Amino acid sequence: ALGAGLDRSELAGLARQASGSAARSLFGGFVELKLTPDGPNPTETRQLLEPSAWPLRVLVAVTDPGPKAVGSTEGMLMTEHTSPYYPAWVESSPADLSEARLAVQRCDFEALADVSESSCLKMHAVMLSARPGLVYWNGTTVECIRRVRELRASGVPVFFTVDAGPQVKAVCLPEGSERVERELAAIPGVTGMIASGLGDGARVVKGGR
């Protein structure tokens, strides 16, 4: 697509054919990907906030560096076809998206934390109910979730989310990042920590490596 004269929205439409993450990564900061069944494209991607508008930190606790036994696409297809709870999960997603969008627009950390953790747990609950059930977590995953909950209950601005895998992502305000990273790194079974801010959008790099 390089040199084709497409804007970011058009590029996102092409990238979406590979994955939702690919489409979102073209934009920086907070990005919304929503279904548009009545539009010219099945999805629409747009930036909600620049990274600098709300500079959250993301700390990834690596609990298993190896490959997943069941890939994300295969796992979700199996869940769709076999879980009795899949329709209810899909039905609840627009409300979660609206709640998350409003939280981001208002920079409301507690509201974003609530809906993010709830959405994460619902997704894993649905995958657990597939046949056969998909268990992406390990014991260390659970311990990391528990520690994040304890930190949040003690007043540290942090929440967790877990994709289709065993690694735990702790999202926090900058003032809490050092403590969160230290606490998660100390959990037995955590093999490494990855710290990041919110990224900028995709860009063309010329020259160098």
d(CA 18, CA 26): 13
Alpha-helix runs per DSSP H in the chain? 8-15, 20-24, 72-82, 86-105, 109-128, 139-153, 177-185
Q: What is the mean pLDDT of the chain?
A: 89
Select from 3.30.70.890, 2.80.10.50, 3.40.50.970, 3.90.25.10 the CATH code of 54-196: 3.30.70.890
Domain limits, the chain: 1-50, 54-196
CB 192 within 8 A of CB 65: yes
Amino acid 11: pLDDT? 65
N-term to C-term CA, the chain: 21
* Cβ-Cβ contacts under 8 Å for 165 (sequence gap 6 or more): 64, 68, 72, 136
d(CA 90, CA 123): 10
Nearest in space to 169 (alpha carbons), one of 186, 189, 153, 193: 193
Residue range 131-169, pLDDT digits in tens: 999 999 999 999 999 999 999 999 999 999 999 999 999
Residue range 70-125, pLDDT digits in tens: 999 899 999 999 999 999 999 999 999 999 999 999 999 999 999 999 999 999 99
User: Residue 16: which pLDDT band, with cuts at 50, 70 and 90?
Assistant: low
Give the predicted TM-score (pTM) of the model.
0.87
